[in-house]
Structure 1
């Protein structure tokens, strides 16, 4: 898997994801809401991979939400960018949480027939987030919805090292 790291604005990635999922949203009674502060800094990461992670999470939210809302929220948490995708969908049972990020796993045999997919989206998202230096987790209440959150470093390791050296000299 190859990576290319550049500075980019997460607003552009979120906008692109929203455009991509608009046809799916329009077929349901679902409202897509984005919460992105105006002053959000640029991130140094692989734009294409961040798009892929976010598209997987939003697509899953759409797949498991028949009506209600899906919210993409972005915020800065110290030196990290924190992005969450929340939905008012069916949620996840406690006993299914452990296998959620495993390859080729879908959480219910009956769900497999109803919801298409190979069971790789969350597995790949976790792999990509980890390779980009972040973390991913989920909070869910069965019957009420889920929130998938991931973090990514705002700056590259090289930039952080340079910053530490320049502030340490003063």
Structure 2
């Protein structure tokens, strides 16, 4: 943490001020020293002790003597780019309680031991609050994730029991319906586990991206085949807008698919009627993706938090909708790794549009 951020405006005086006037400033401001400057350039420092000892020992008249005649020449100061730890070390070494901050020979501020102690205490309190918040989020996530994992497992287990029944097996239509449900629940379980594992990799700083040329038209064709059944099974219309002229991009194809599936699944989850539109187009050096729904929408006050981990929009319409609150956060993390950005436009009762872009040539620092 640099000193520059926390320095205070110093109390200064020019060198041609009378000793008497300087003493009055020290007394009125209840401080022990004054910084002497000329045209913002620091010349020295004068203390209450200097004024008393030097003036008396030299038999000088405080009503006639100027500060420049008794000013301390040796000044200890810091550069504003120094850290708080360095400032405290210098203060302790020199048994002083404040340090002038000088940049390019100019006095720009002052830092005191009181400042550092207050800042340190504040930072410790903030760190403690963050740890408490993270601990609550962890507990909430474990509870939600446990529920989310149990639901598809229970469904899979139930249908597997049915498939053991001889009469049930002979009913081809029922058997096919059951296998479709099993397939969906397994995919749901797989997506959740993938997201949870990705969070662990990101936190441990071991997330690996595999960048290669991606044929966007082919990728979007696969995404369409994968997600159209999900959309239509929910009673919604699917609208995909992309063409064969889409450029190849440098990206991690599997992670790109993961982002799109997460966004489309999220839109389906919060849309009761209408349609889901997925659009892809080239814009300058980027490819712009849009996933638009006609769902319940997101209140404006909630929109800034929607990409935070474990955050879920509160409301009567969302309470019955399952989710661990990690899908959108994962999208943001993965897109950051690919050099992209994600944002949304939403209006309650009208639906939401999730937008993201990816640089055609990949991130600058792969």
TM over 0.5: yes
2:213 corresponding residue in structure 1: 7
> Whole-Å Cα distance in 1 between the matches of residues 334 and 296 of structure 2?
26
Give SS of 1:96's match. helix
Are 2:340 and 1:130 aligned?
A: no
> Whole-Å Cα distance in 2 between the matches of residues 75 and 26 of structure 1?
24
Structure 1 residue 157, shift from structure 2 partner: 5.6
Q: Larger helix proportion, structure 1 or 2? A: 2
Give SS of 1:57's match. helix
Aligned-residue Cα RMSD (Å) equals 1.6
2:222 corresponding residue in structure 1: 16
User: Post-superposition, which runs of at least 4 consecutive aligned residues in structure 1 deviate over 3 A?
Assistant: 109-113
CA deviation profile, 1:74-101 (whole Å, cap 9, x unmatched): 1111000000000111111111112100
State the TM-score, normalized to the length of structure 1: 0.86
2:355 corresponding residue in structure 1: 149
Gaps of 5+ in 2: 1-206
Are 2:274 and 1:68 aligned?
A: yes
Structure 1 residue 21, shift from structure 2 partner: 2.5
Q: 2:234 pairs with 28, 51, 62, which one?
A: 28
Structure 1 residue 109, shift from structure 2 partner: 5.3
2:103 corresponding residue in structure 1: none
Are 2:260 and 1:57 aligned?
A: no
Structure 1 residue 9, shift from structure 2 partner: 1.5
CA deviation profile, 1:15-49 (whole Å, cap 9, x unmatched): 22223333322322211111113311111100011
Residues 110-121 of structure 1: pairs in structure 2 closer than 5 A: 110=316, 113-121=319-327
> Whole-Å Cα distance in 2 between the matches of residues 6 and 114 of structure 1?
40
- Relative to structure 2, which stretch is displaced further, 148-157 or 99-108? 148-157
2:251 corresponding residue in structure 1: 45
CA deviation profile, 1:97-147 (whole Å, cap 9, x unmatched): 121000011111545541111000000100111110011000011100110
Count of aligned positions = 158
State the TM-score, normalized to the length of structure 2: 0.41
Which structure exhibits the higher relative contact order, with contacts defined as CA atoms closer than 8 Å and separated by 6 or more residues?
1
Are 2:295 and 1:79 aligned?
A: no
Q: Larger strand proportion, structure 1 or 2? A: 1
2:308 corresponding residue in structure 1: 102
> Whole-Å Cα distance in 2 between the matches of residues 112 and 87 of structure 1?
16
Give SS of 2:279's match. strand
> Whole-Å Cα distance in 1 between the matches of residues 258 and 315 of structure 2?
26
Quick check: 2:237–2:276 contact (8 Å CA) kept in 1?
yes
Quick check: 2:217–2:244 contact (8 Å CA) kept in 1?
no
Larger Rg: 2
